[in-house]
Amino acid sequence: MVARSLTTARLTLRLPIASDLAAYTAFAVSARATSVGGPFDEAKAFDKLAAMIGHWELRGWGRYVIALDGRPIGHCGPLDTFGGTPEMTWTLWDDNALGQGLATEAVRAVIDHLLTDCDWPALKVCIDPRNANSHRMAARVGAVRSDEPGPVRWPEAQTYYLRKEAA
Amino acid sequence: MSLTNAPRLETENLILRGPEDRDMDHVIAFMMNEERAKGFGYYDNRPQAWRWQALSIGHWHIHGYGYFTIETKDSGQPAGLCGIWNPEGWPEPEMGWVVFDGFEGRGIAFEAATRVRQWAYQDLGFTTLTSNIVPDNTRSQALAKRLGAAPEKTYDNANMGVTEMWRHPAPAEVLK
């Protein structure tokens, strides 16, 4: 069973909640959201956070909110792709949280939990070709580049796979 | 299994309950039926329709209210949705209703909406309530009228385009 919260040296990973909406929306409407298909308007941000919450209820797993000292700074975790390999996602919402290895710390904890504790066989990763930071993250956490095209909603994305043996 | 904190409400013929796993195929079938769902939120693909139901569940978690699944007591099957909807971008909370294929013509929406409105006024403490209806949805307009609501204005809704906002009678008139 996938844990509903995880802790790392500096972070708590927990389910998204209503009070995350302001911090998530601030990111979603910003220029930085371009790399994840945005920027979005406030209504779309509400819809996306609500769907993130509902995904957990429907699947029993989903994307964690990354909290630093009780403050939500991003999200990371698996997303259902409707029958395919679950897609591992990560995004830091807070500009001030960048450059300290916090995303890596969160992503490593989630990957380790899913592939080792939960024995999932694989995770897929889809990254905007221009998002250099995310490509570096993929390399750091052992993701292997794939020739598979991106998903229908995002055909230009570069795909990677994370597998149990590489974790 | 309950996926939300929604209460369970009853009427003579209906049970109104929070969304459950077994509703998914019924909701998806409705959302992907352009004719039926165009005044509510039509999607041409299953993943998007699934995501709407995930959003609907999350709406309950964020606001503490949302869309109930309407179940008929005689069939035990999901027959529609009715509840209070207030995502970001909505002018104010509204009561919405839809009836799934095969359940029309039995007064289900009226019975559900009457109970949901009572819940909103009595249990949630709402002091007013609207319903957003697209101009060519004559069935919903007729039901809004039957519920005692009256058209107040027309505005441009971010999801549905040009929309009529109907206002329901106040709690004092409904709860007497």
| B63 contacts in chain A (CB < 8 Å) | 18
Find, in chain A, the residue whose alpha carbon is nearest to that of B157.
A43
The alpha-carbon gap from B174 to the nearest alpha carbon of chain A, in Å, equals: 31
Q: Walk me through the domains of chain B, giving residue ranges and CATH numbers.
A: 9-127 (3.40.630.30)
Q: Do A53 and B57 touch (CB under 8 A)?
A: yes
Mutate to test the interface with B, among A57, A58, A79, A82 (most CBs of B within 10 A): A57
Which CATH number covers residue A16?
Answer: 3.40.630.30
Nearest in space to B71 (alpha carbons), one of B23, B28, B104: B23
How large is the average pLDDT for residues A97-103? 95
A26 touches chain B (CB under 8 A): no
Integer Cα distance of B23 and B70 in angstroms: 10
Q: For tokens 């077994």, what's the residue?
A: B22
- CA A87 to each of CA A49, A53, A127, B168: distance values in angstroms, whole numbers, following the listed order: 17, 16, 11, 44
Domain that includes residue A12, residue range:
5-166
Q: Work out the burial of residue B160: count CB atoms within 10 Å of its CB; fewer than 13 is exposed, 13-18 middle, 19 or more buried.
A: middle
Which pTM value belongs to this model?
0.95
Judged against a pLDDT cut of 70, whether residue A166 lies above it is answered with: no
Mean of per-residue pLDDT scores for chain A: 94
Q: Would you call A93 helix, strand, or coil by DSSP?
A: coil
Query: Who's near A132: CB < 8 A, 6+ residues apart?
Result: none
* Nearest by CB: B54 against A45, A46, A58: A58
Judged against a pLDDT cut of 60, whether residue A167 lies above it is answered with: no
Percent of chain A surpassing pLDDT 90:
87
Percent of chain B surpassing pLDDT 70:
99
Q: What is the ipTM of this complex?
A: 0.94
Q: For tokens 């994840």, what's the residue?
A: A36
Q: How many domains does chain A have?
A: 1
Mean of per-residue pLDDT scores for chain B: 95
